[in-house]
Amino acid sequence: MSIVKLSMRLVTSALLRAAPAALALGAVVLAWEAYALFSGISPTTLPAPSRVVTQAWEHRLALLDNMLPTLAATTIGFVYSLLAAFAFSVLVDFIPPIRRGLFPVLIVSQTLPLVAIAPLVVLWFGFGLGPKIGLVALVAFFPMLVALVQGYAATDRDIEALLASMGAGRLRVFLLARLPSSLPYFFAGIRISITYAVVGAIFAEYAGAAKGLGIYILNAKNNFRPDLVLAAVLVSSALTLMLFGIVVLVQRLVMPWDRLERRSP
Amino acid sequence: MTGYRLQLRNLRKRFGDLDVLGDISLTVRRGEFVSLLGPSGAGKSTLFKILTGATEADAGTIHFDGQPLATRPSPFAFMPQHDALMPWRRVLDNTTLGLEVQGLARAAARKRVQPLFAEFGLAGFEKHYPAQLSGGMRQRAALLRTVVQQREMLLFDEPFGALDALTRASMQRWLQAMWQQHSWTALLITHDVREAVFLSDRIYVLRGRPARMLTEIAVPLPRPRIDLTSPEASAIEARLLDTLLNQSPD
For residue A202, the domain's CATH number is 1.10.3720.10
> Is position A154 within any domain?
yes
> Is position A25 within any domain?
no
Contact B98 A261 (CB under 8 A): no
Q: Is A60 on the interface with B (CB under 8 A)?
A: no
Domain that includes residue A198, residue range: 3-8+32-39+49-256
Report the percentage of chain A scoring pLDDT > 90: 66
Q: Is A166 on the interface with B (CB under 8 A)?
A: yes
Residues of chain A found within 8 Å of residue B97, distances taken between Cβ atoms: 162-163, 166, 176
Number of domains in chain A: 1
> Is position A13 within any domain?
no
| Residue A263 binned pLDDT confidence (cut-offs 50, 70, 90) | low
The tens digit of pLDDT for each residue in B78-126 reads 998 889 999 999 999 999 999 999 999 999 999 999 999 998 889 999 9
The tens digit of pLDDT for each residue in A85-103 reads 999 999 999 998 888 888 8
Q: For residue B54, give the nearest of A164, A176, A180 by CB distance.
A: A164
Total number of residues shown for chain B: 250
ipTM of the complex: 0.85
The tens digit of pLDDT for each residue in B62-86 reads 999 989 998 888 899 999 888 999 9
Cα Rg of chain B, angstroms = 18
Say if CB B92 and CB B114 are below 8 A apart. Answer: yes
Say if CB B204 and CB B243 are below 8 A apart. Answer: no
> Is position A166 within any domain?
yes
d(CA A112, CA A110): 6
| Residue B250 binned pLDDT confidence (cut-offs 50, 70, 90) | very low
> Is position A162 within any domain?
yes
Q: For residue A180, give the nearest of B80, B86, B129 by CB distance.
A: B86
Residues of chain A found within 8 Å of residue B87, distances taken between Cβ atoms: 257, 261
Query: How much helix, strand and coil, in percent to the nearest 5, is found in chain A?
Result: 85, 0, 15
> Is position A173 within any domain?
yes
User: Best of A158, A159, A165, A170 to disrupt the B interface by mutation (most B CBs within 10 Å)?
Assistant: A165
Biggest distance spanned by C-alpha atoms of chain B: 55
List phi, psi (to 5°) of B72.
-135, 160
Q: For residue B129, give the nearest of A163, A180, A260 by CB distance.
A: A260
Report the percentage of chain B scoring pLDDT > 70: 98
Which of A110-114, B104-108, B242-246 is modeled with the greatest confidence?
Answer: B104-108
> Is position A152 within any domain?
yes
Contact A159 B78 (CB under 8 A): no
In the prediction, which pLDDT does A198 show?
A: 95
In the prediction, which pLDDT does B166 show?
A: 87
Q: For residue A166, give the nearest of B87, B101, B155 by CB distance.
A: B101
Contact B88 A163 (CB under 8 A): no
What structural domains and CATH numbers belong to chain B? 6-75+152-245 (3.40.50.300), 86-150 (no CATH)
Residues of chain B found within 8 Å of residue A163, distances taken between Cβ atoms: 97, 101
Q: For residue B78, give the nearest of A162, A172, A263 by CB distance.
A: A162
Q: Which helix (H) or strand (E) is B239 found in, with range?
A: helix B231-245
> Is position A14 within any domain?
no
In the prediction, which pLDDT does B1 show?
A: 44
Sheet of B33-37: strand order equals B67-68, B59-64, B6-15, B18-28, B211-218, B202-207, B33-37, B186-190, B153-157, B76-79
Distance (Å) from the C-alpha of residue A76 to the closest C-alpha of chain B? 29
